Amino acid sequence: MKTIWLATNNLHKLEEFQSMLKDKAQVKCLKDLNRPVEIQETGTTFEENALIKAKSLYNVLHEPVISDDSGLEVDAMDGMPGVYSARFMGEDTSYEIKNQAIIDAVQGKKRTARYVCVIAYIDENGKEKTFRGTIEGEINEIPLGDKGFGYDPIFYYPPFHTTLANVSEEMKNSVSHRGAALRLFLTDLGEAL
């Protein structure tokens, strides 16, 4: 089975990628390395940040690498937190606090929002590609659900009539921004995996 390295320390992302890739590849992440890889997310777009992460790991391993940059864009907040979603209000700030701040920010305003995910892939020869997936929704009035992670408890998905944190991982992956980007990636790679 082919190994693909995922440029993250986030075990939730590792589980999501492995779940969606199933038996097509074994996914390993930065925690599986025996040395640190310094990654500075200095991009201003999801595409730039995804490629920065992938290149940082590829330059160490020279093996197939996948990375993603994803986040929540809230229309009433001019697209924030956007590429700063993980660092919004500080990296050590809990998502309970971040989620409440977003709920407060959209009070009386348009609640529309979207998750965006860009996957960057660098193959063993250094060829780069990116794949963008989105999911449209709204900011829920209260956090709801205990599944998922991050902003999922406040991301209301109208077709499900609830938040992404209130459905199974399988349901979430069937419509998620990361799932959409990963399906584009898998379609593009086809038999390469």
178 annotated to a ligand binding site? yes
Which has the minimum average pLDDT: 8-12, 109-113, 159-163?
A: 8-12
32 annotated to a ligand binding site? no
Q: For the residues 49-57, what does the mean pLDDT come to?
A: 95
Mean pLDDT, the chain, integer: 92
Q: In the prediction, which pLDDT does 193 show?
A: 58
111 annotated to a ligand binding site? no
CB atoms within 10 A of CB 111: 19
CATH of the domain at 113: 3.90.950.10
Q: In the prediction, which pLDDT does 118 show?
A: 97
How far apart, in Å, are the Cα atoms of 83 and each of 16, 42, 43, 145, 166? 20, 10, 8, 24, 24
Length of the chain: 193
Chain segment 122-169, per-residue pLDDT in tens: 999 999 999 999 999 999 999 999 987 899 999 999 999 999 999 998
Q: What angle do CA 158, 87, 85 make, to 5 degrees?
A: 20
Given the residues 23, 68, 69, 78, select the one marked as catalytic: 69
CB atoms within 10 A of CB 34: 4
177 annotated to a ligand binding site? yes
Give the DSSP letter of residue 167: S
d(C-alpha 49, C-alpha 31), whole Å: 20
Q: Parallel, antiparallel, or unpaired for β 155-157 and 128-139? A: antiparallel
Asked whether the predicted pLDDT for residue 192 surpasses 80, the reply is no
More confident: 48 or 149: 48
- What range does the domain containing 60 cover? 2-192
Q: Is position 69 annotated as part of the catalytic site? A: yes
Number of domains in the chain: 1
Q: Parallel, antiparallel, or unpaired for β 65-74 and 2-6? A: parallel
pLDDT exceeding 70 applies to what percent of the chain? 98
d(C-alpha 16, C-alpha 119), whole Å: 13
70 annotated to a ligand binding site? yes
pTM of the model: 0.88
How far apart, in Å, are the Cα atoms of 102 and each of 73, 80, 96, 108, 140? 11, 9, 10, 12, 10
Q: In the prediction, which pLDDT does 94 show?
A: 94
